[in-house]
Amino acid sequence: MPIQRIEAGPAGEKTAAWTTAQAAAHEFVGEVGLDFSRAHASTRAAQLCAFDRIVAACAAQPRAGRVVSIHAVHAATEALDILERHGLPAHATCIFHWFSGSGEDLNRLRALGCLVSVNACMLATRRGRAYARQLPEDALLLETDAPAWLDAPCSAAELEASLAHTLSLLAEIRGTSTQTLAPALAETSVRLLRL
């Protein structure tokens, strides 16, 4: 699905309705969620309404193997509240991108069986490193969208280098080798994508 920002008012309602219909009809949904950063805080109510509708629609129309990629900036608690309210993790694999919620949120995420995709920026923070150590190996994925520090499209070589760097950092944090960790992460990806 193309990137859609939820605005307040009729334009936001139209985008939310379209996004909800698309999410309910597909196996792979993402990246949907909430962004309460300063730049987007003014649309908080519209975002909450839209995300609630998307999650409710996915839960009401289960699809075998559905994967939902979740964006939650300063909004992990609210995202988890909505997932729990609709029971979506029972009907889909929910993956949080670059999780930075509280320790309590992490415990809720784990109890719901959600996964976390990590990138080098997440692993550069003390909290991110702690979470990367605490999460079970089969709950971790490498974040495969463009490297966060690039403001423009990147080449395949740049993406590959970014993933290799993140894998190396993650292995070091977890006290293992890339040769041990890479196959485990790949196995999770293969299972989710049914390759």
pLDDT digits (tens, 9 = 90+) for 45-68: 999 999 999 999 999 999 999 999
Question: What amino acid is encoded at 68 in this protein?
Answer: V
Considering the entire predicted model, what is its pTM? 0.90
Burial of 6 from C-beta contacts in 10 A (0-12 / 13-18 / 19+): buried
> What pLDDT score does 15 carry?
78
> Judging by DSSP bridges, how do beta strands 28-35 and 140-142 pair with one another?
unpaired
